Amino acid sequence: MSRRQTPPFDPGRFEIANRLFFRLYQCSNLLHKNGTRSIGEFGATTQQWAVLGALARPLVHEKGMSVKELIEFLMLSRQNLTAVLDRLEARDWVERVKDPEDGRSRLIRLTVEGNRTWSAMRPAIETFYGKALMPLGEDEQVRLYQLLDRLRDGLADV
Amino acid sequence: MSRRQTPPFDPGRFEIANRLFFRLYQCSNLLHKNGTRSIGEFGATTQQWAVLGALARPLVHEKGMSVKELIEFLMLSRQNLTAVLDRLEARDWVERVKDPEDGRSRLIRLTVEGNRTWSAMRPAIETFYGKALMPLGEDEQVRLYQLLDRLRDGLADV
DNA sequence: CAAATTATGTCAATTCATTGATATAAAAAT
DNA sequence: ATTTTTATATCAATGAATTGACATAATTTG
């Protein structure tokens, strides 16, 4: 229970919120820096890995995803995603194919090469996950992503 | 106890880690987008607000912080911080003064104008915090920043 | 005193992120 | 059939993030 309408902000509440978002900022910087370094041998970035990961999911892998779906899933702007897709397409890791059911829409799919690269990256990603999550038990990892889920919902509604 | 040395990665563990970092990525994008929008009237960004917030802390406010300390606190590169400080200095929100105790070092301090701006921003930041944290109770907010603390430590050690 | 380290800055290249404005083509609605 | 909406793309500007290489000045070390 107890979801307040407009929470009053005493100094304590502000401090907690401040720490929370500052940690988020720090984690975000570290994820980008060290995550990208850990897959440096492939010349990819964490953002590209997020796109490949989205497209490699079992239910998506064959039909692909539209740009609109990718934007909503990754929560970034269309202009930005277009640029990332351009780089991925230039490396022949993804392809844009016309949607047979909607001529306006194009489906983004992993190429064979993109699939191969994603598989090759997985061990490096697993190593990164393992090291980065060292201080957290499995139950805490679940708790953390559930809390991040709700934070995301809150952030999206601002 | 049970802090594993090299955690074996069964599919379940990978899935949990994957969700966790993906949520982190989404939250990071949303924080940047909606956070910056919520202080848009000041023409500042969440990064600039992080720097101002760091410098506005009671124990720091008078003496300031060196660039090195700011880099370690904010966890970003020197080249990047220099650029952010340049923009803040151009707006007369921060100043670089020589450290009387170390001629190599320069102390970054809030100017009077920077202090004024930080105070003016606070209500907008409080509103943002309030909306973004709507789905989370106070106890959950504390739990979340503690978990992020440990994730940050893990990410830093990769 | 000379050499090495430290703190900062600068220059350059790349990627990622935003917004805003504009364009094109196809689907849907009137 | 015309209009409107939708999906995508493009162009431009700005800010933020990384890395690498180099420069300078001051402190510390040998």
CB-side neighbour CA atoms (13 Å) of A71: 11
Tell me the chain A residues in contact with residue B16 when contact means C-beta distances shorter than 8 Å. 138, 141-142, 145
For the sheet with A94-99, list strands across it.
A65-66, A102-110, A94-99
Q: Read off the CATH number of the domain in which B126 is found.
A: 1.10.10.10
Domain that holds residue A84: 18-157
Q: What is the distance between the alpha carbons of residues B27 and B104, in angstroms, rounded to a whole number?
A: 38
Contact A71, A83 (CB under 8 A): no
CA dihedral B123, B129, B130, B135 (to 10 degrees): 170
pLDDT at B96: 93
Give B55-70 pLDDT, tens digit per residue. Answer: 999 888 888 999 999 9
Q: Is the CB of B13 under 7 A from strand C?
A: no
> Span B64-78, mean pLDDT?
93
Which of B19, B31, B130 shows the shortest C-beta gap to A6? B130
Helices B112-132/A11-38 angle, 10° precision? 90
Percent of chain B with pLDDT strictly greater than 70: 94
B129 part of a folded domain: yes
For residues A62 and A82, give the distance between their C-alpha atoms in angstroms, rounded to a whole number. 21
pLDDT for position B100: 85
Could you report the per-residue pLDDT of B27-48, keeping only the tens digit for each?
Answer: 999 999 999 999 999 999 999 9
Q: Is residue B119 part of a domain?
A: yes
Q: Distance between CA B148 and CA A27 in Å, rounded? A: 7
Asked if strand D comes closer than 7 Å to A67 Cβ, the answer is yes
- Phi, psi of B13, deg, nearest 5: -60, -40
Average pLDDT over residues B112-129: 94
Q: What b-and-e string marks burial along A127-147, b requiring 16 or more CB atoms within 10 Å of the CB?
A: ebbbbbbbbbeeebbebbbeb
pLDDT in tens, chain A (158 residues): 545 544 457 778 899 999 999 999 999 999 999 999 999 999 999 999 999 999 999 888 888 999 999 999 999 999 999 999 999 999 999 999 988 888 888 999 999 999 999 999 999 999 999 999 999 999 999 999 999 999 999 999 88
Domain count, chain A: 1
Distance of CA A112 to the CA centre of its chain: 22
Instruction: Tell whether A78 lies on the interface with B, counting CB pairs under 8 A.
Output: no
**d(CA A103, C1' C25) / Å:** 8
- Is residue A76 one of the residues assigned to a domain? yes
Assess if residue B10 is contained within a domain: no
Residues 6+ away with beta carbon under 8 Å from A18: B53, B129
Contact B140 A128 (CB under 8 A): no
Q: Is residue A38 part of a domain?
A: yes
Q: How far B158 CA sits from the closest chain A CA (Å)? A: 6
Q: Is residue A85 part of a domain?
A: yes
Question: CA(B73)–C1'(D5) in Å?
Answer: 48
pLDDT at A1: 55
Strands A94-99 and A102-110: antiparallel
A111 touches strand C (CB under 7 A): no
Residue A122 is assigned to a structural domain of this protein? yes
Is the distance between the Cβ of B3 and the closest atom of strand C smaller than 7 Å? no
CB contact B18 to A (< 8 Å): yes
Residue A7 has a pLDDT of 47
